[in-house]
Structures are given as C-alpha cells and as structure tokens.
Amino acid sequence: MRFSHYPMSGNADDTITSPSVGSLSEIEVLPDQPKYVCSLSAELVAKAREQLQEKPEWRLRDVQALRDMVCKDYPNLGTCLDDAFLLKFLRARKFDYDRALQLLVNYHCCRRSWPEVFTNLKPSAIKPVLESGFVTVLSHLDTEGRHVVCIRPDRWTPSNYPITENIRAIYLTLEKLIQSEETQDGFPIRIKAVNIVNEPRIFKGIFAVIRPFLKEKIAKRFFLHGSDLSSLHRNLPPWILPEEYGGTAGKLDISSWNELLLASEDDFLYDVSHLAPSNDGSPHDPLTSGEIDEKQCDDSLRSLKTQLYSCY
C-alpha cells in the first residue's frame, strides 16, 4: 500500500525566471477565453506568492505571456488556452515561462504518444479498477491541507485487466484532484511524500539499489515503514487514516471517491474545439507536422512511464 501527498506549492530550489516588464492594460485577451476568477483564500494567495512567485497583480499578464509563447512557438499544439488551464503549468514551474511551456508540450506529447492509456480516458471506462479499491483518495486532508492518495497493488488481479488500466485510474484521480485550485500544482503533479507499508523484504533490497540513481530530494520523499504503523503515523496522523492502517477515521471508504469521480464524466471528455485549426480549417496535429522534436516526446513519455510504472 502506498500513500502520496499532493499539495498546491512547489519546491523551493527551482530556478525562477522573472516576468518581463509590462502592464495589464497592454494584454490582448483572446475573445473566447473564459475569464479567470481566483478562488484562493487570502492565506493561500500569500502562500502562492511566497512559494510559487505568483503575484496576483501580474497573474493575468503571466498567463498571457505563456499563451503568446504557445501561439508563436507551437501554433498547432492543439491545447486549451484558458487562463485557469495555463495557470496550472505556470504554478508547477514557479512562473518560469520557458519551463512552463516545456511542461505543457510534454503533457501533450505523453497524451498523444501513449494511446493505450489516454484513448477513451474517462471514469466510466475504468470502473472495474475503481470498484476493486486499487486507488482511492482519503476523506481527510493532512495537517498541511494536502490530499492523500491511497494505492493498494494487492487489489489488482492481473487476469482481470492489464496494468495500463491501473495507470489510467491513477491518472484520472490526479487530474480530478488538480481541478480544485486549492490543490493544483500543474501536471505532472508534484509528489511530496510516498509512504509504503507492508512491503516485502525484497522491495527494500531493490529500493536500496535504485536509490543512488534518484535525485536526493526525490529519494528523501520515500518512506518504507514495513509493518510498523507507528512509523507511518509519524508522517501521517492517525486521525486521517482508516482503521486498516491503525487510524481512527473509520473503515476505508472507497465509495465516496468513486462516486465523485464517476459523477464528473463530462469533465474528462476531450474537447476538439481546443485543437488549433490548420489553414484548411481542420484540426492539425503538431506531432505529425514535425513541429515537436520526436526525441523530446520520447524522453517525456519515458519519464512519465517510469513514474507511473514505479507504482508496481
């Protein structure tokens, strides 16, 4: 079993690109873009300013800057250009325009290059995975206001469906979590901690071999607790954990999250209107036009697959 935290804030050691000089009055807002309305509390606005370099007075200007870069460098990317959507990528890269753009391109490369995961990707398509209890989200937030995702590999029976169905379920769960502005950190989402319990002895040996190849800050986020639930409770307070893991929050309930995810089917229907039209007015795929470096896509896809397959 594995627990992971998904916060709003990023890492303090990321490089920051300062926004260029300009004023909101100089921004040309595209006519069909929904206007962004901030839903963050005053406390979270202050937190975003401190940790993400997000300044409310510059926010729309920064979003417009990223939108301009997309339109100039990747006119046929076929991405959503809404303020709220682009803001996710800016926040994930602490408003570094270049890195936010790269993340956005990687996001679309992965979606288009991995059809067995992203084709027909909607909650109703992964209902058997949800019903198995393989992945769910705990009802309570942790002490930092972060969601806790619970993944239970022992609930997967390989003869029932392929491993890619589990990955689809994890992806949809993370996508749903970042729809809330209070918890979004762009996508791929940042994992602040991975707590593993009841792992077999061989896993510890495998992890000992892998650990030297991980970045130090990533390696420090993995915690192997074995059967010692008191060790787990030092990272996750018992009051947010279900009884199965020594907590006081009652039996693990998977129905609430399943119902929430299945009820949001429309949120995951791919909107072809987001595709930029080519000269003849038809949707245009930048992957076939050569506008995105193939090696870049391969590297991005390999990275995502490594992250997701590491769940098993």
d(CA 145, CA 143): 6
Decide if pLDDT at 15 tops 60: no
Q: Is the entire prediction scored with pTM above 0.75? A: no
What is the DSSP code string of the chain? -EEEEE-S---TTS--PPPPS--GGG----TTSPPP-----HHHHHHHHHHH---TTTHHHHHHHHHHHHHHH-TT------HHHHHHHHHHTTT-HHHHHHHHHHHHHHHHH-HHHHTT-SGGGGHHHHHHTSEEE-SS--TTS-EEEEE-GGG--TTTS-HHHHHHHHHHHHHHHTTSTTT---SSPPP--EEEES--HHHHHHHHHHGGGS-HHHHTTEEEEET-HHHHHTTS-GGGS-GGGT-SS-S---HHHHHHHHTTGGGGS--GGGSPB-TTSSB--HHHHT-S-HHHHHHHHHHHHHHHHTT-
At 260, give phi and psi (nearest 5°).
-65, -45
Mean pLDDT of 178-190: 55
pLDDT at position 186: 36
- pLDDT tens readout for residues 102-149: 999 988 888 888 889 888 899 999 999 999 999 999 999 888 888 899
Tell me the one-letter amino acid at 126.
I
Average pLDDT, the chain: 77
Write the burial class of residue 151 (CB in 10 Å: 0-12 exposed, 13-18 middle, 19+ buried). Answer: buried
Distance between CA 97 and CA 67 in Å, rounded? 10
39 or 282: which leads in pLDDT: 39
Q: Put the strands of the sheet holding 194-197 in their side by side order.
A: 135-137, 147-151, 2-6, 194-197, 222-226
What is the rounded average pLDDT of the residues 212-240? 90
CB atoms within 10 A of CB 66: 22
* Closest to 84 measured CA to CA, from 124, 40, 118, 51: 40
pLDDT band at 312 (very low <50, low <70, confident <90, very high): very low
Q: What does the pLDDT average to over 18-35?
A: 44
Determine the Cα–Cα distance for residues 166 and 153; give it in Å rounded to an integer.
Answer: 9
What is the pLDDT at residue 306?
A: 53
The angle at the Cα of 244, spanning 241 to 249, to the nearest 5 degrees, equals: 35
For residue 123, cis peptide bond before it (omega within 30 degrees of 0): no
Strands 2-6 and 194-197: antiparallel
pLDDT of residue 189: 57
The whole-angstrom separation of Cα 8 and Cα 208 is 30
pLDDT of residue 146: 83
